[in-house]
Amino acid sequence: MKLSTCLAAVAAVAVSHASPHPALGQQQTLGISQHAPQTSISDKFDQTDASFIDQDPLLSFHRDLVSIESVSGNEHDVGIFIAKFLEAKNFTVIKQEVAPVKKKGVGAQDEDQTPKTRYNIYAYPSSLREQPSILVTSHIDTVPPFIPYSVHKPESSTVQSNLDEYVIAGRGTVDAKGSVAAQVYAVLETLEAHPDAKLGLLFVVGEEIGGDGMKTFSESEINAKSAYHTVIFGEPTEAKLVSGHKGMLGFEVLAHGKAAHSGYPWLGKSAVSAILPALSRVDQLGNIPVSKGGLPSSDKYGPTTLNIGTIRAGVATNVVPATAHADVAVRLAAGTVEEARELIQKAVKEATRDVEAEVKVDFSNHNEAYSPQDLDTDVDGFEVMPVNYGTDVPNLTVRDGVKRYLYGPGSIFVAHGDNEALTVRDIKDAVKGFKKLINAALDRD
């Protein structure tokens, strides 16, 4: 079933029942977005159709997570909610403060930043007297914009539809609060069967904006004193084990010319005319063989890809543009960051050899840079695949020999879209999947 088709065709079922969780006081009453057309609700589906969410601790926890807006930089409320929830489950919880996010954009001042404190949430069973040997982790921030939580009947539904086929939509349902909820309940169920299991939970902020939360944890004393031999990361992987993901780096291409009246362009130097050949070359670097100055490919990850995400230039159509700026993201399939940067610098220099304005490459505003990340897949019972997106995996420093797994419910193909959604079955199956990974790790204790 295509989720985008399903979401376009089905009616939203409002969920406004009281939460069974103790820390829900700071969030708004759930229901249909005020922007949603009221005519989309079918008379034959009343609110009781979604009452099964209230009756299921896992699903209601997931609902409560998604209902708290936590766009990157604004994770305070969801962090406090998770901390209180875990404390009520007899976990020792450490709220690790992470620096506020500075605002960007036109008119932003250096002192502008997010108003509330942000916390990584690190937790372990209060009965545990040793360092956790298994760390289960995901992120609690989301991309914008906030999309309210809603429940939908499957496309080909009947009144007696299997509740596991219901679709749960909203920002973060997939990326990555689906993983957070499944991880929490996988750990709780594992502890019921193995009370002495040395498990730790870590939920970080800022993954969607460069990983400042995980970097803060990685550099902390908690991580320096860690004893874990296994880290299980949660991201949308369609319930498959990920064998690795591409590396990442970013850069800016900057052109500086001279302004002039557009009727007399020879009196100026067009920054746009200068930057265009550079961007044309950059845009093709993933398709050019390394022997001819291109970026590398690999059998595992395919070609390196580049995306020229933003371009800004000029002030008016009757003014020769004095400046031009482009921001580029690279998904690196092979090689090192240093090698890629050298190739990019050389390509831009060659492409702009004959232009009048100055063109340069600047890597300084992109701190997130890493080579391809290979991951462990030695637990039976999972399909395996590589992915193209980035994660917090490279932002956590681990000792040699530590196993790293990447797994979670939902698809990356809807994760950042307005159709972000997964099914009830996806979340329930993810609990089983995370438990399988945890149990395999326990066998190594």
Is 342 annotated in the active site?
no
How many Å apart are CA 389 and CA 412, to the nearest integer? Answer: 8
The residues, any chain, with a CB within 8 Å of residue 363's CB and separated by 6 or more, are 249, 250, 251, 252, 341, 369
Strand (E) or helix (H) holding 425: helix 424-442
How many Å apart are CA 411 and CA 194, to the nearest integer? Answer: 31
Strand (E) or helix (H) holding 340: helix 337-351
How many Å apart are CA 50 and CA 353, to the nearest integer? Answer: 64
How many Å apart are CA 367 and CA 418, to the nearest integer? Answer: 28
SS3 21: coil
Per annotation, catalytic residue among 69, 87, 130, 207: 207
How many Å apart are CA 67 and CA 352, to the nearest integer? Answer: 50
Half-sphere exposure (CA, 13 Å, Cβ side) for 229? 10
Closest CA to 145 of 168, 118, 176, 171: 171
| DSSP code of residue 119 | E
Find tokens 């420093």 and name the residue.
397
**C-alpha 290, offset from chain centre:** 30
Phi, psi of 24 (to 5 degrees): -90, -5
Q: How far is CA 138 from CA 53, 64, 94, 158, 297, in A?
A: 23, 17, 16, 35, 29
Per DSSP, helices labelled H in 120-211 are 177-193
Quick check: 126 and 90 in contact, CB under 8 A? Answer: yes
Residues acting as catalytic residues: 207
